[in-house]
Amino acid sequence: MKAWIPFVLVAAGLAAHTSAMADCIYPKSPDAPPDGATATKEQMIAASQDFKRYNADMNAYLECIKLEMDTTQPKDPAKLSPDEKKKAAEHHNQLAQKNNAAVDELQAVVGRFNEQLKIYKAKNQ
């Protein structure tokens, strides 16, 4: 029975780790921002709320990716076989690519909103 307890704990740890990785859900970007030249104040406020939500959701996704990178990094890479090292490096690179793509999208999406907001503010001064 003593041999079973460590297995149960390891299995529970793997299940928790797997569920943590499964929680990295890529957020849907908001619809295109309203045209700043013709938008109403209410439209701009609603869009601002959508883009703030998206920004928060994307930051949560990026934190999740970072957590996955931290938790899947081998504690002692010297003990890994060459194949395991290669797989770990590939996994790390995939996560880094996901992170970089998400940051690029976040900057582009929020940048489009900020551009329209600038137009709106210039029109309504």
Region 107-118 average pLDDT? 97
Is position 1 within any domain? no
Q: Quick one: tokens of 76?
A: 């002692």
pLDDT digits (tens, 9 = 90+) for 72-96: 888 888 888 899 989 989 999 999 9
Is position 2 within any domain? no
The DSSP call for residue 33 is P
Q: Which of 54, 55, 38, 62 is nearest to 124 (CA)?
A: 38
Is position 93 within any domain? yes
Domains contained in the chain, number: 1
- For a pLDDT cut of 70, what percent of the chain falls above it? 82
Domain that holds residue 29: 7-123
